[in-house]
Structure formats: C-alpha cells, structure tokens
Amino acid sequence: MPSPAHGRRLDAVPGPFTPRTPRVAAARRLHRRRDRDATGRFLAEGPQAVREALTRPGLVVELFGTPAALDRHRDLAARAATADVPVSEVTEEAIGVLAETVAPQGLVAVCRHLDVPLDRALATAPRLVAVLAGIRDPGNAGTVLRTADAAGAQVVVFAGDTVDPYNGKCVRASAGSLFHVDVVRATDPGEVVGALRAAGLTVLATTGYGDSDLDDLADAGRLAAPTAWLFGSEAHGLPGELTDAADARVRVPLHGRAESLNLAAAAAVCLYASAKAQRSPVRGSSAKESVRP
Amino acid sequence: MPSPAHGRRLDAVPGPFTPRTPRVAAARRLHRRRDRDATGRFLAEGPQAVREALTRPGLVVELFGTPAALDRHRDLAARAATADVPVSEVTEEAIGVLAETVAPQGLVAVCRHLDVPLDRALATAPRLVAVLAGIRDPGNAGTVLRTADAAGAQVVVFAGDTVDPYNGKCVRASAGSLFHVDVVRATDPGEVVGALRAAGLTVLATTGYGDSDLDDLADAGRLAAPTAWLFGSEAHGLPGELTDAADARVRVPLHGRAESLNLAAAAAVCLYASAKAQRSPVRGSSAKESVRP
C-alpha cells in the first residue's frame, strides 16, 4: 500500500488505490459542500473536465484514474505529470465512489477552488456578465454558466443562496465552462448589483413580469452597452429588491400560449440578444431610427 | 367498493379508489409506452396539466384526485363534471402510484392521444415549426416543446426515434405546451422534411458544424420566411441525411470558449431568432443593406 502522503507517478509499481485508501476517502468527501468549503477543493470528473482543468496552471491537485482510463487518455496523464500533478491509479470500485455519474469515464481530478473576488473580475472590464441569484438547482446553474460562456460572457457570479458552483452536478452541467470564465461567489446580491453599476455595466433583471420587452430593448440599441443579466430561480424568480435595483426589468416575449420559459431557455435568449447587439454596430444604429418615440 | 366499470361523480358516496382498483391499475400501466401505444391514452399529472387538458374538448377520459386535491381544485373537478368526464376519488396511495413525481399534487388525468397527422398540421399554414429528430431524452424533448410554444411555433413534430411525446417526463417538462400546439408523430424524418418543403417552409438544420451562422441569416433577412427548425439529440446531433436535406445548416455562434450549447439553449436561441425576424419587417429590410456581398 503506497503512503497516502505522497502522490504516485504512472511509472510507480504498487497496485491501484481502493475506496479505503485515505486519499481516495478524503477526495470522496468532496461530494459534500461542507468538505469543499473547508478544504477549498472540488472534484472534476471525466476526460473533458479534466482536460479543461489542466489548462489552468496550479488548479489540479491530483488526478485519479483507472489503469484503462489513464491508458486511453495518455495525453492527459502526461500533461498532469509535466505539471507536477500527482497521477494515481485507482480501482474501478474507487472511481465508482469518486464519480457521481452512473457510467464514469475513469478519470476524476481533485481541483482547487478557482473563484475570484468580484472586484478583480470587474477590473478586466467585462462587457457581458451573468449573475445567478438564488438558483438552487445545480443542473440549471451549470447550464446557465455554460450558456453564458457560449454567449461570450467573461464573468459569472453565483450570488446569495445560489448553489455552490463546485457542486458535482453543476460542474458537469457546465461542460467545462466553469474553467473558462471568471467565476465569482458573493453572499450579498444587492452589493453585487451596486458593484456592477459602479463598474459601468447596465444591470438587467429577467422577470416574466418585466415592463421592458427584450426585442424592444434590442431594437432600441439598449443591449449594445456592457451588460449584466440577473437570473433568479425557476420556482421563485428574482427577489423584489434585486428587480428594483436593476436598470430595467426585462421579459422575454411569449408569442404562443406557454406561460413561461424555463431558466436555461430564457437565459440563452437574453444572453444571445446581448451578444448579437454588442457585435452589430450597424443594426444597433439603424434599428434606432425605427424605434417609436 | 364501487364498480370499476362506471365512473363516479364527486357527489357519489363510496370510499376512494385504491391502487388495486382495476381502473387505477389500468391507468397506472400508462407509465409504459407499450400500454400508451396500445390504448392511445396517457397520463397528465398536477393541476396545471389537468387544467390545460380540460381546455381541449374530449381529451380527458377520467380525472383521478385525492379528496383533498379535489377540494382544493373544485373548479377543475366542476369543469370535468360539466364535460361529462368521470371524476374519481383515490387514496393518497393510489395517487402515489399514478403520479411519477415525488410530491404529486393529488391530481392525475387519463387523456386521449392528441397528435394530428402532419398534413393536417401543415394545412393550417404554420409559420414556425420545430422538428425533434432522434431526441431520446424526454426532459429535453418536453423543454424544446415548451420553448417552441413560447416562441410562437404552431407545430412540433416528434420524428423518427424521438421519445414518445406522452412520456410522463416529457409531458411534465412541456409545462402544458403539449396541449397548446399541434403535436405530430412521424416515423420517417426524411418524409417530414419533404412535406415541410412542399408546404413552402424553409427547413433549417441546427448543427454545431453548420456553414451558416445564425446571426448572418438573421441579418440577411432569411429568417423572416415561414421556417421549420430541425433539432437532433444532444449526444449525436442530426443524422447526415437530414442535414443534407435541409435548405441550410445553421450553427449558433459560440463567442466564448464553450464547445457547444445544450439542446434547450440552442433551440431557444434559434426559435426566438425566427420569432423576432418574423415580427420585424423594418429590421429585416434595413439590415439587408448592411450584409456583406
């Protein structure tokens, strides 16, 4: 049994770690938020997430893999070794307890938390920001993170009682985007809104009862400015103090008979409306002329 | 024990049905696709779905509810009774086996299948159509159905080996939209594309590898025409013969570092781009001038 205090390299001989190996047992505890918060670490599972994590220097603390997976993904094992990241062979049973998916693909990385303070994220002068305020469902939060990345957002803020961005389901739903954008955790959503406006961003709150129609805002050229979008939970929406604090309360138009959109769809429509407006100076200015006074 | 051969009205006296009551047992079997296909019936669960189902005459075959739920939703029970729909009191245990959610809200309706043939749906000259081709995840299919309804699509086609639209999870994810649009089931997606084009619709295939950028199409005014969007599965995308048969292969632009969007987000962005273009003659024409030759 190798000493749990030292990482093993691929070229080391001893047998794979089991679920009882102390380092595997310790890593497994990162499924619990309490242990993630206490250690500042989380798990990223599967080759895609591991590859993304390894692109950020210093992020990965250790890589666990079954012999078959490490053989299948020799490039990742080699990249980890080059970066002085311990690579540890584990049994199928061990990967089973480290991974949360039914068919784990044999690789799990222990990573350091990567969130940055809001002021540091805002110092990069982002033009598109997504703020998740009170989103408790980790799959929803991860999906909005992924969509925000796709739409070109540079910063995603997890505010208030929003789910932990390092929740396994959120990490998986983000499909690597957790590693692409500046992730911020903030306890007070109201302070976040104040800081975003102080940084020159227009703050738009999405709500089914908003008085501004998304298409009207786009036609009026009002989406071309640097913008932060606030998204609330599907069940409860945004708290009133946040919609009040925003520069506008925006509804996505409902053309059919659906009563609402789900969160992922609404966020996609809003974020892509901003992405298009910010990249279309011609449309922004020509459309302005067609706006009713 | 009431006779299982006759529906009871709310004013009838005998005790509630149990899981062993033959009609409850028969309804429960509708969780299986085989039984849905054989009977042409499915289950809609919860007050929202039941309310929507009751708006369509002849759709609801029977309404099951716990005494508490039927009391809480007296309007629905009354509407069912007015429409000569048998309303049957059931035990909490019976609603537990009829419902698929962990916290059922006490109401489950047995409904008749409501899909219509493609030619009948196309006879209404729809301007926006969504085609699900090979989407196996019922939650994804239901979400796209809901989004299509919100974006104003009049027809949603479940084609090829796409999940059964009457799958309980799909019904729930549609949030009532199953009852709002013309739902079509078609075995051959290729024939669907042919029929859509014959009906004068532009057929656009969504694919991450499309040669047409969504924003460019919008700017060129090419989304203002009546349009049918083809969506494939998140895992496998659309089959090649469908992308080949479409009028254009369209990609949603990825501005950040995300490798792709999830299906719900991509469908939302595409369908809403069409919705906006079809409602914006001014932008359509003025934008045309700014298109690069």
Q: What confidence tens digit (pLDDT) does each residue in A56-91 have?
A: 999 999 999 999 999 999 999 999 999 999 999 999
Check CB contact under 8 Å for A143 and B258: no
Beta strand spans in A66-169 (E) = 87-89, 107-112, 128-133, 155-159
CATH number of A118-284: 3.40.1280.10
Task: Indicate the domain borders of chain A.
Answer: 22-112, 118-284
Residue A289 has pLDDT above 70, yes or no: no
d(CA A194, CA A118): 11
Pairwise CB contact (< 8 Å): A150 & B258: yes
Of all residues in chain B, what percent are helix, strand and coil, respectively (each to 5)?
40, 20, 40
Please report the ipTM that was assigned to this predicted complex: 0.87
| Mean pLDDT value of segment A257-286 | 86
Q: What is the structure's pLDDT at B238?
A: 94
Beta carbons of B177 and A219 less than 8 Å apart: no
The reported pLDDT for the residue numbered A280 is 81
Residue A250 phi, psi dihedral angles, 5° rounding: -110, 135
Q: Give the pLDDT confidence of B45-86 residue by residue, as tens digits.
A: 999 999 999 999 999 999 999 999 999 999 999 999 999 999
Contact: A279, B215; criterion CB under 8 Å = yes
Q: What is the pLDDT of residue A281?
A: 60
Distances (CA, A) of A198 to A118, A152, A243: 12, 21, 17
Cβ(B183)–Cβ(B211) under 8 Å? no
Q: Which residues contact B106 (CB under 8 A, 6 or more apart)?
A: B65, B66, B68, B69, B70, B72, B95
State percent of chain A over pLDDT 70: 91
pLDDT, one tens digit per residue, over A165-211 is 999 999 999 999 999 999 999 999 999 999 999 999 999 999 998 99
The verdict on a CB contact (< 8 Å) between A265 and B262 is no
Q: Show residues of chain A in contact with B290, CB under 8 Å.
A: 282-283, 286
Pairing of strands B202-206, B182-186: unpaired
Dig out the tokens for B272 from the structure: 């809403």
Q: What is the pLDDT of residues A266-277, one digit of tens each?
A: 999 999 999 999
3 state DSSP class of B89? strand
* pLDDT (mean) for B267-280: 96
Mutate to test the interface with A, among B56, B262, B290 (most CBs of A within 10 A): B262
Which CA distances in Å does A20 have to A33, B124, B262?
21, 64, 37
Taking 50 as the threshold, does the pLDDT of residue A247 lie above it? yes
Q: What backbone phi and psi angles, to 5 degrees, belong to B88? A: -120, 125
Q: What is the CATH number of domain B118-285?
A: 3.40.1280.10
Check A252 against B262: CB less than 8 A apart.
no
Answer whether residue A6 shows pLDDT above 60. no
- At residue B288, the pLDDT reads 39
- pLDDT over threshold 60, residue B155: yes
**Where residue B290 falls among pLDDT bands split at 50, 70, 90?**
very low
Q: Could you say which of B255, B259, B289 has the minimum Cβ distance to residue A275?
A: B255
Mutation target among B129, B174, B276 for the A interface, most CBs of A within 10 A: B276
A181 burial level (CB within 10 Å; 0-12, 13-18, 19+): buried
Contact A219 B146 (CB under 8 A): no
Packed helices A281-289 and A263-278: angle between N→C axes, nearest 10 degrees:
90
B286 pLDDT above the threshold of 60: no
- What is the reported pLDDT for B213? 97
Shortest CA distance from B154: residue in chain A:
A256
What's the confidence (pLDDT) of residue B35?
Answer: 96
Residues of B in Cβ contact (< 8 Å) with A261? 146-147, 150, 268
A282: closest CA of chain B, how far (Å): 7
Token digits of residue B71: 């009391």
Smallest CA-to-CA distance from B132 within B104, B108, B153 is with: B153
Q: Which of A149, A259, A269 sits opposite B268 (nearest CB)?
A: A269
Name the residue among A159, A164, A184, A53 with its Cα closest to residue A108: A53
Question: Rounded to a whole number, what is the distance in Å from the CA of B234 to chain A's nearest CA?
Answer: 12
B287 vs A282: CB contact, 8 Å cut-off? Answer: yes
Q: Given an 8 Å threshold on Cβ–Cβ distance, is B256 in contact with A175?
A: no
Is there a contact between A276 and B215 if contact means CB atoms under 8 Å apart? Answer: yes
Q: Which of A151, A180, A258 sits opposite B150 (nearest CB)?
A: A258
A22-112 is a CATH 3.30.1330.30 domain: yes
DSSP code, position A100 = -
When CB atoms are compared, the residue of B152, B252, B257 closest to A256 is B152
- Give the model confidence (pLDDT) of B231-268 as tens digits: 999 888 999 999 999 999 999 999 999 999 999 999 99
- Residue B134's φ and ψ, nearest 5 degrees, are 85, 20
Q: Where are the beta strands (DSSP E) in chain B?
A: 41-45, 60-65, 87-89, 107-112, 128-133, 155-159, 182-186, 202-206, 212-213, 227-231, 248-251
> pLDDT confidence of B280, banded at 50, 70, 90?
confident
| H-type alpha helices, A174-213 | 189-198
Please report where in the chains the tokens 């789910």 appear, as a residue.
A163
User: What is the average pLDDT score of chain A?
Assistant: 91
pLDDT tens-digit series, residues B23-39: 999 999 999 999 999 99
- Picking from B245, B142, B154, the residue whose alpha carbon sits closest to that of residue A265 is B142
Which residue carries 């030759």 as its tokens? B293
Q: Which of A143, A254, A280 sits opposite B265 (nearest CB)?
A: A143
**Percent of chain B whose pLDDT exceeds 70:** 91
- Asked if pLDDT for residue B289 goes beyond 90, the answer is no
Of the partner residues A152, A215, A266, the one whose CB lies closest to the CB of residue B256 = A152
Q: How many contacts, defined by CB atoms under 8 Å, are there between A and B? A: 145
Q: Answer whether residue A2 shows pLDDT above 50.
A: no
Chain A: residue nearest B215 by CA?
A276
pLDDT of residue A287 exceeding 60, the answer is: no
Cβ pair A151, B256 in contact under 8 A: yes
Residues of B whose CB is below 8 A from A291: none
pLDDT tens sequence across B90-112: 999 999 999 998 777 899 999 99
